[in-house]
Chains A and B, each alone.
Chain A
Amino acid sequence: MPSKTCPKIRPSEITPESVYLNRRSFLQAAGFAALGAATSAGRAWAANPRRLAVFQDLAASPFSTEEPANSWEDITTYNNFYEFGTDKDQPHRYARDFQPKPWEIEIAGQCDRPGIYAFEDIVDPHTPEERIYRLRCVEAWSMVIPWVGIPLAEVLKQFGPNSRAKFVKFTTLHDPERMPGQRWPVLQWPYVEGLRIDEAMHPLTILAIGLYGKELPNQNGAPLRLVVPWKYGFKSIKSIVRIEFAEQQPVSSWERAAPHEYGFYANVNPTVDHPRWSQARERRIGANLLAPKQPTQMFNGYGDQVAGLYAGMDLSRNY
């Protein structure tokens, strides 16, 4: 059996212990060297201090897009992850020392096997795939990201959801010691997101555990996060510690913060504007400074697969 879920670490990747133990002083030296001008090399270095193990033999997916993926640097230095700061360049700096392992996830609600599970117990039974997806942020920018993930449906079925499980509610870690952005109530912590059960079970929906064939960097939601490519990015909740099978529709964090601006569904929709900006077009990150914005596609271009989920629904009301 090819080992996929517990990536093999090559001897060349292992950091000598002395270097590991001195990493802080090395970081400080690097910080002083980079003072004044954040060189791109310095930023790239700061972006991945934790050794990220590599996945071997990733399965490809027919769901992947052919579009060119964004660079590792773009994907790991331009993040919305308010738990580590509200500026895009803060998560990769403030999440640098975050330790995502060991990690436990509580499974709760309407299912046969609730309980507290280790990350490995949830992830290891499944075969990770590479899923190259478009990501459309509600702020009208977009990227193409080569995730490593496992279908959420497979994970959820592990716990035997019953017929009263109409929704799935996800919760991010709440630990202001480790997530400094939570020391300020910019949102009500912890971050909460939700999906309808059929959205959660859809084959496009994945739990991402990696990026570019490596483990997920901290600033992208280590050790595991949701990815729902036809919805605005904020639905794809990061660093999940709790998954609940719910009877009632959960209230997501952005919905709670500004209900007239962010709805529960948050499907990418060029015809329904955000009250403060247009959603008709988007800026593709990594494009030339003078490149024009590109038109946003309905359901972020995944309409063929997901439009049926919303048949008969008024999407301008259920935004």
Chain B
Amino acid sequence: MSAAVAISPLRLRTLKVVVFLICLIPLVATVMAIFGIMGLSLGANPVEELIKRNGEWGLRFLLITLAITPARRLTGLNWLIRFRRMAGLFAFFYVVMHFVSYAVIDQGLAVGPIIEDVTERPFITLGMTALLLLIPLAITSTNSMVRRLGKRWRSLHRLVYPVAVLGVWHYWWQVKQDIREPLLYAAILAVLLGYRLWFSVRQRRSRRITVENPA
């Protein structure tokens, strides 16, 4: 592994504020578009656009969250891990906004049609499952929960892998015909998960070698 590159606590704190504000840009842009500020607009079908944007940002932040560990290992910038929780919570936030846009604005909280959608339309079933699985991860993201759960925290948070797969799958089944965009998300996810597989296989092998040839 590459040498660790340290960062001062003050710098880290400043950087966290900056990154937090950057992560809010999609939200700010959407709110501005809703009110038509600075000529921004959601277009002719604002409800559809609202659902689409929030969903895309949810998916993007999920992939960013999953990219942090590989990026840290490859660059040696260990402090990157300090941004993983923030990225994950922003993923959750945009996914919730995606659901709220759908359930409140598009469906007007009509329970019957929402239940029908979730049970009868496979792509919505997938998306809903992903959202539900994200909730325990968001709840257990605090420091005290990490401490309280100990080893179980890591196993629980492996749920993020199926969540990401479900999210991309949900997008793939939603598009009418042009699958180029979901394909791109799927490819990035495959690289991120593939890296983890490769890394764990390599680690297991090197551990075995160490056991077989104790120094």
Taking a contact as CB atoms under 8 Å apart, the answer to whether A285 and B45 are in contact is: yes
B44 in contact with A78 (CB, 8 Å): yes
Query: Once bound together, how far apart are the Cα atoms of A259 and B178, in whole Å?
Result: 16
Cβ-based interface call for A315 (8 A): no
Q: Mark A141-154, 1 if CB is under 8 A from B, else 0.
A: 10000000000000
**A: contact size bracket:** 20 to 34
A267-300 contact mask (Cβ, 8 Å, vs B): 1 or 0: 0000000001110110101100110110000000
Name A residues whose Cβ lies closer than 8 Å to a Cβ of B.
37-43, 73-74, 77-78, 82, 86, 88-89, 139, 141, 184, 186-187, 257-258, 276-278, 280-281, 283, 285-286, 289-290, 292-293
Chain A interface, >50% SS class: loop
* A141 near B117: Cβ-Cβ < 8 Å: no
Q: Is the CB of B45 within 8 A of A37?
A: no
Given A78-B45, A289-B47 in contact, is the A37-B38 Cβ separation under 8 Å?
yes
Q: Are A37 and B44 in contact (CB under 8 A)?
A: no
Which chain B residue lies CB-closest to A43?
Answer: B41
Bound together, the chains give a CA A253 to CA B108 distance in angstroms of 34
Q: Which residue of A lies closest to B33 (CB)?
A: A37
Q: In the complex the two chains form, is A40's CB within 8 Å of B48's CB?
A: no
Complex contact B44–A277 (CB within 8 A): no
Q: When the two chains form their complex, are residues B105 and A290 in contact, meaning their CB atoms are under 8 A apart? A: yes
Specify the chain B residue showing the minimal Cβ separation from A79. B44
- Give A89's nearest chain B residue, CB to CB: B43
Q: Contact: A139 with B105, CB < 8 Å? A: no
A89 to B176, CA, bound (A): 16
A38 adjacent to B108 (CB under 8 Å):
no
* B34 at the binding interface (Cβ < 8 Å): yes
B205 within 8 Å of A (CB atoms): no
| Inter-subunit contact A139/B176 (CB<8 Å) | yes
With A186-B177, A276-B121 as known contacts, state yes or no: A285 contacts B44, CB within 8 Å: yes
Residue numbers in A under 8 Å from B121 (CB-CB)? 276-278
Chain A proximity mask over B121-158: 1 for CB below 8 Å, otherwise 0: 11100000000000000000000000000000000000
**Min CB distance, A280 to chain B, in Å?**
8
CB closest chain-A residue, reference B34? A289
B13-59 residues with Cβ-Cβ distance < 8 A to A are 34, 36, 38-48, 50
Q: Is B161 an interface residue (CB 8 A)?
A: no
- Are A78 and B177 in contact, with the CB atoms below 8 A? no
Q: Is B173 an interface residue (CB 8 A)?
A: yes
* Cα distance A279–B45 in the bound complex, in angstroms: 17
Q: Which B residues lie at the A interface, using CB under 8 A?
A: 34, 36, 38-48, 50, 105-108, 113, 116-117, 121-123, 173-174, 176-178, 180
> Does B113 lie within 8 Å of A278, measured CB to CB?
yes
A258 touches B177 (CB 8 A): yes
Chain B neighbourhood of A89, CB < 8 A: 43
CB-CB under 8 A from A77, the residues of chain B are: 43-44
29 pairs of residues in contact across A and B, judged by CB atoms under 8 Å: A38-B40, A74-B44, A77-B44, A78-B43, A86-B177, A88-B44, A88-B45, A89-B43, A141-B48, A184-B178, A184-B180, A276-B122, A276-B173, A276-B174, A277-B121, A278-B117, A278-B121, A281-B113, A283-B47, A283-B48, A283-B106, A285-B44, A286-B44, A289-B34, A289-B50, A290-B105, A292-B108, A293-B106, A293-B107
- How many angstroms between the C-alpha atoms of A106 and B6 in the bound complex? 72
Contact present for A289 and B44 (CB under 8 Å): no
In Å, the complex CA distance between A88 and B42 comes to: 12
Chain B residues with CB under 8 A of A74? 44
B36, B47, B113: residue with the most chain A Cβ atoms closer than 10 Å? B47
Cα A290 to Cα B104 with chains together (Å): 9
A278 is contacted by which of B46, B116, B122 (Cβ under 8 Å)? B116
Whole-angstrom distance from the CB of B48 to the nearest CB of chain A? 7
